[in-house]
Structure 1
């Protein structure tokens, strides 16, 4: 891989796994990884009666399924996407966390101004439940993984045919964020809202992964952002203000 194949914000000593046979995995393992993400997406998008009996704990499946699928595909070498934090990562997390919070707040205000109003996330009504907070960190990691798996798959496909790394990254990023946005459609019931807020708004967490090649960095931003938003909603309720 040549220097020109990397974006300026990337660390040229690191690359994304799998797409360029780094390392090589069999077609069968690619299939397992893809199916794990597809099954998770299906379970999120399509309500199933027998899973509703699990209540909030069904969201653990959004973590277990992609983790097992990806883990099996890479022989449990999670170091391919989970790396040790570096000193600069913490600064990056703070900057991107603030940027995403401000961006999402402004965008939400703009959408509301133009009459685009989404349904409240059902999780909001469950924030006083301890089980919600126990499941929450696992669900968020699962969400990050079903954002990264499609990215790696699309990157592999487009790079295989174009040999253009930069273009493949742009296309793979766009498609993975689109899928991630649509995952939120059952909860918010507003296509425009999820495309902008959950899709475009997630460019900050995606940038974190693109820059560091470390899903733990994007996970930290996603987890902190949602925690802040939930606490903003929960604290007034707990204090009896609303």
Structure 2
């Protein structure tokens, strides 16, 4: 791999796993990993009566299924995406968190101005439950996996045919963010809103992974962001 194949913002080592046979995994293991992501997406998007009996605890499946699928595919070598934090990572987390908060707030104001309002966040009614606060950090990690797995799949697919690393990263990132946005459509019921607020705004957490190749960095931003938003919603509910 040549230096020109990397974006300037990237850490060149380590590289993304899997796409360049680093390591090579069988077609069968690829299938298991892809199916785990598809099954998780299906469970998020399609309400199933037998799962509704689990209540909020069903959201643990959003972590368990992709975690097992990815783990099986890579022989449980989670170090491929889970790295130790580096010194500069904490500064990056703070900068990207602030940037995403500001960008999301401004974009939300613009959408409201043009009459593009999504349905209220359905989690508002659950914020007084201890179970919600126990489960959502685990669910958020599952959501990061649901971004990373499709990204690695698309990156591998497009790189195989183009041998153009930069273009493959861009295409994989765009497709991943669109899929992640559409996961929120059943809850928010506004296509434009989810594509912009849940899709485009997630570029900050995605950038964190692209730069560091460490899911813990993108997860930290995602977790802190949702915690702040949930606390604001809880406070507004209590005071309102």
TM-score, scaled relative to structure 1: 0.98
Distance 1:77 1:185 in 2: 33
Are 1:132 and 2:138 an aligned pair?
no
SS in 1 for 2:59: helix
Count of equivalent residues: 240
Residue 65 of structure 1 aligns with which residue? 65
Q: CA deviation at 1:121?
A: 1.8
Are 1:187 and 2:190 an aligned pair?
no
Q: CA deviation at 1:233?
A: 1.2
Q: CA deviation at 1:42?
A: 0.4
Distance 2:84 2:35 in 1: 28
Deviations 1:21-43 (A, max 9, x none): 00000000000000000000000
Query: Where do 1:74-153 residues align within 5 Å?
Result: 74-153=74-153
Q: CA deviation at 1:235?
A: 2.2
Are 1:163 and 2:160 an aligned pair?
no
SS in 1 for 2:18: coil
Deviations 1:63-120 (A, max 9, x none): 0000000000000000000000001000000000000000000000000100001011
Residue 52 of structure 2 aligns with which residue? 52
Alpha-carbon RMSD? 0.6
Residue 39 of structure 2 aligns with which residue? 39
Q: Which structure 1 residue ranges, 5 or more long, are not aligned?
A: none
Deviations 1:139-185 (A, max 9, x none): 00000000000000000000000000000000000000000000000
Deviations 1:6-26 (A, max 9, x none): 000011222100011000000
SS in 1 for 2:22: coil
SS in 2 for 1:75: coil
TM-score, scaled relative to structure 2: 0.99
SS in 2 for 1:124: helix
Distance 2:118 2:12 in 1: 41
Residue 212 of structure 1 aligns with which residue? 212
Q: Which structure 2 residue ranges, 5 or more long, are not aligned?
A: none
Distance 1:138 1:128 in 2: 18
Q: CA deviation at 1:122?
A: 1.2
Distance 1:53 1:69 in 2: 24
Distance 2:145 2:13 in 1: 23
Distance 1:179 1:216 in 2: 21
